[in-house]
Amino acid sequence: MHLAVVACGDRLEETLIMLKSAVLFSNRRLCFHIFAEDSLKPEFETKLKEWPSSYTKKFESNIYPITFSVGNAQEWKKLFKPCAAQRLFLPVILKDVDSLLYVDTDVLFLRPIDDIWHLLGEFNSTQLAAMAPEHEIPKIGWYSRFARHPYYGTTGLNSGVMLMNLTRIRSARFKNSLIPGGLTWEEMLYPLYQKYKNYITWGDQDLLNIIFYFNPECLYVFPCQWNYRPDHCMYGSNCRGAEEEGVSILHGNRGVYHDDKQPTFKALYEVIRDFPFEDNLFQSLYYPLQSRFLDTVHTLCGRIPQVFLKQIEKTMKKVYENHVIVYLGANHRY
């Protein structure tokens, strides 16, 4: 299973905590594709080597420089957040990778990556990427109120968690507002940016919305529990999937891991950050999380702790059962 992330500036710690959450709960081996500024490369290498061997054997990592194959590199690098546009070039750079999951640095996995990876098998013959809606309610959604460019569906897409079948993306021709006959992914990126650059606010996410506005048959839409953000609870709970199944992937955008505006999100980030790898998951992760959540009940997101805890509790039970039954059982035969 291939996991890609782009890290620039001060995103080293955030990226490492995201990778930690992926390794903690995954079942199958992972391959990390980390795109980072040159100054961050040695720090990533050092930090990942410090993890205990019981976890480092669960993944391999590749670290790449920030590169843009078409257009003005400095222009791409400054689009929205530093280096975020790098994600648009993954199909071109990772030519030997069939499929991958891209996530922003401010994402935390609360269940195995295996589970979202299985969604690739649900793509129909035309679908080549998957994302969640930007919002569940059009009247309070950003795109439906403010966008000055085409966007997907009624509320647009959030690209912080994106499954990609790179093989299909590389071979497809995409409808667009530039050339009637369609363009390949790489051919389309820079002309599309040039046409809409004065109308976009959220950089590469807006470009993806424009692409899938013209090519809706290419997109698989997964529900909000796979990309759960403060917007899903700060105006009142509006992600039904998370209410029913719990949050699967937490996306702490708006910088909520690092301020006090959404203490529920910050608590999850800090508890995973502080968890010692070899400790008991329930004693050193789940119970501290429950305790921290007691301090957040005065907030709108904190009023629904079960939404945040349901999936991670289920995941930890499976991890514990696998360890006790499979690992210990294999070494204690009667």
Domain spans in the chain, listed from the N-terminal domain onward: 2-222, 225-331
Residue 118 has pLDDT above 70, yes or no: yes
Assign 3-state DSSP to the chain and report helix, strand, coil percentages, each to 5.
50, 15, 35
Quick one: DSSP state of residue 223?
P
Q: What are phi and psi of 182, to 5 degrees?
A: 90, 160
pLDDT score at 261: 93
* Mean pLDDT over the full length of the chain: 92
Backbone angles phi, psi at 171, to 5 degrees: -95, -10
**Mean of the pLDDT values across residues 263-278?**
96
Q: Report residue 333 as tokens.
A: 């035969």
pLDDT, average across residues 3-7: 97
Ranges of H-type helices in 67-112: 73-77, 90-93
Q: Is 138 exposed, middle or buried (0-12, 13-18, 19+ CB in 10 A)?
A: middle
Between CA 204 and CA 141 the distance in angstroms is 18
How far, in whole angstroms, is CA 280 from its chain's centroid? 26
Q: How far apart are CA 136 and CA 113, in angstroms?
A: 24
pLDDT at 323 over 80: no
Check whether 51 has a pLDDT greater than 80: yes
Residue 163: pLDDT above 50? yes
Question: Which pair of structure tokens corresponds to residue 208?
Answer: 């993806």
**Which residues lie below 8 Å from residue 124, measured CB to CB, with a gap of 6+?**
220
Q: Taking residues 162-174, report their average pLDDT.
A: 97
Residue environment code for 236-264, b if the CB has 16+ CB neighbours within 10 A, otherwise e: ebbbebbbebbbbbbbbbbebbeeeebbb
Confidence of residue 40 (pLDDT cuts 50, 70, 90): very high
CATH superfamily, with its number, for domain 2-222: Spore Coat Polysaccharide Biosynthesis Protein SpsA; Chain A (3.90.550.10)
Residue 224's pLDDT band (boundaries 50, 70, 90)?
very high
**pTM of the predicted model as reported, rounded to 2 decimal places:** 0.94
pLDDT of res. 237: 92
* Banded pLDDT at 140 (limits 50, 70, 90): confident
pLDDT tens track for 56-86: 999 999 999 998 877 777 787 777 576 878 9
In the prediction, which pLDDT does 275 show?
A: 96
Distance CA 107, CA 95 (A): 25
Q: Supply 176's token pair.
A: 């667009």
Residue 305's closest CA among 296, 313, 314?
Answer: 296
334 pLDDT band, cuts 50/70/90, is very low
Instruction: Give the model's pLDDT for residue 333.
Output: 45
Q: Is the pLDDT of residue 173 over 70?
A: yes
Q: Predicted confidence band at 147 (pLDDT cuts at 50, 70, 90)?
A: confident
Minimal CA–CA distance to 226: which of 316, 158, 140? 158
Q: Is the pLDDT of residue 48 over 70?
A: yes
Find, among 172, 214, 219, 184, the residue nearest to 196 by Cα: 214
H or E element at residue 237 = none
Res 258: pLDDT: 96
Residue that has been written with the tokens 């508890």 in this structure: 271
Window from 53-62, 222-231, 323-332 with minimum mean pLDDT:
323-332
Determine the Cα–Cα distance for residues 6 and 87; give it in Å rounded to an integer.
Answer: 7
Proportion of the chain above pLDDT 90, given as a percent? 78
CB 159 within 8 A of CB 204: yes
* Structure tokens, 37: 């500024």
b/e map of 57-66 (b: 16 or more CB within 10 Å)? ebbebebbeb
Please choose, from the candidates 117, 261, 101, 215, the residue with its C-alpha nearest in 3D space to the C-alpha of residue 166.
101
Q: pLDDT for 244-266, tens place per residue? A: 999 999 999 989 999 999 999 99
Q: What is the DSSP letter of 203?
A: T
